[in-house]
Amino acid sequence: MPYVTAGKENSGNIDLYYEDHGSGKPVVLIHGYPLSGASWEKQTAVLLAAGRRVITYDRRGFGKSSQPTTGYNYDTFAEDLHHLVTHLELRDFALAGFSMGGGEVARYIGKYGSKGVSKAVFISSVPPFLLKTPENPEGVDGSVFEGIAKAVAADRYAFFTEFFKNFYNADLLLGKRVSEQAVQASWNVAAGASATASLACVPTWYEDFRKDLTRVDVPTLVLHGDADRILPIGASGLRTAKLIAGARLVVVKGGPHCITWTHADEVNRELVSFLGE
């Protein structure tokens, strides 16, 4: 199992677990909260079959990566991604982020520029700026995030159960587009995440990515479900597509937050087509 070291906390290394499969042009897939790189399974197989080199990794605190108590902010997440890209000596690579992972795509380009980056993909992603402020009236009220943080701190296992109901729109799609077992598998991954990370990531969801997005100067695809209850399309995907010059917006009809699973065929078709252009 390959790891890249991204730093240290006291006597221990902060190691990021990654997987690197296939050959061809590389695409780095960045997962959402509170999952791991394994959550891309429906995309990985299709991208490998399309002749891509597919790299997934687990964000610090999640999956098989180290679980430090520090570094839960997007500047550090972007540095972690940069450690991986540098370690693998990637050139001409695409970055695709789902949910929280879209923040890494934005901040990576905002911080390091687009040198070496061929394309960017935002799927059900957190940018541009979720927090409602006087100059950002389209955002989500701060009390919503406070409530989430309280619920995670009180009993993160119970929180995850409720969270995944809205992650998959289970009331509508359970037994049709997602199985009880798939939801349970997501819960199992979430339960294995660091308690610190589970809580510390919540305020990162309303970091301001608007400046980062102005630096995105590569072909960009924005994919978002119009029934997303976690990151409503009006507060996120639609605005991201407007802020990036020339971005292509694809709206998945009836798509919940986790369209990478429930609407995998549609997502994969768009992804393979876009990356192949």
pLDDT digits (tens, 9 = 90+) for 88-116: 999 999 999 999 999 999 999 999 999 99
Q: Can you give the pLDDT at residue 82?
A: 98
H-only helix segments in 3-99 = 41-49, 74-87
Question: Which of 99, 124, 125, 186 is the catalytic position?
Answer: 99
Q: Can you give the pLDDT at residue 231?
A: 95
- Check if 263 is active-site: no
| CATH architecture of the domain with range 3-276 | 3-Layer(aba) Sandwich (3.40)
Residue 57 to residue 60: CA distance in whole angstroms: 9
Encode pLDDT of 157-191 as tens digits: 999 999 999 999 999 999 999 999 999 999 999 99
Task: Find out whether the peptide bond into 34 is cis, omega within 30 degrees of 0.
Answer: yes
Q: Is the pTM of this model over 0.75?
A: yes
Domain boundaries, the chain: 3-276
Residue 255 to residue 98: CA distance in whole angstroms: 14
Statement: residue 271 has pLDDT above 90 = yes
Question: Which of 124, 228, 236, 263 is the catalytic position?
Answer: 228
- The stretch 108-131 carries a mean pLDDT of 98
Instruction: Please report, rounded to a whole number, the percentage of residues in the chain having pLDDT higher than 90.
Output: 99
The average confidence (pLDDT) of the chain is 97
Encode pLDDT of 226-248 as tens digits: 999 999 999 999 999 999 999 99
- The stretch 45-59 carries a mean pLDDT of 98
Q: Cβ(163)–Cβ(269) under 8 Å?
A: no
Bridge partners (DSSP) listed for residue 7: 14
Residue 195 to residue 156: CA distance in whole angstroms: 8
- Check if 36 is active-site: no
What confidence tier does 21 reach under pLDDT thresholds 50, 70, 90? Answer: very high
Statement: residue 138 has pLDDT above 90 = no
- Check if 65 is active-site: no
| Of residues 11, 13, 68, the one with CA closest to residue 194 | 68
Q: Cβ(35)–Cβ(164) under 8 Å?
A: no
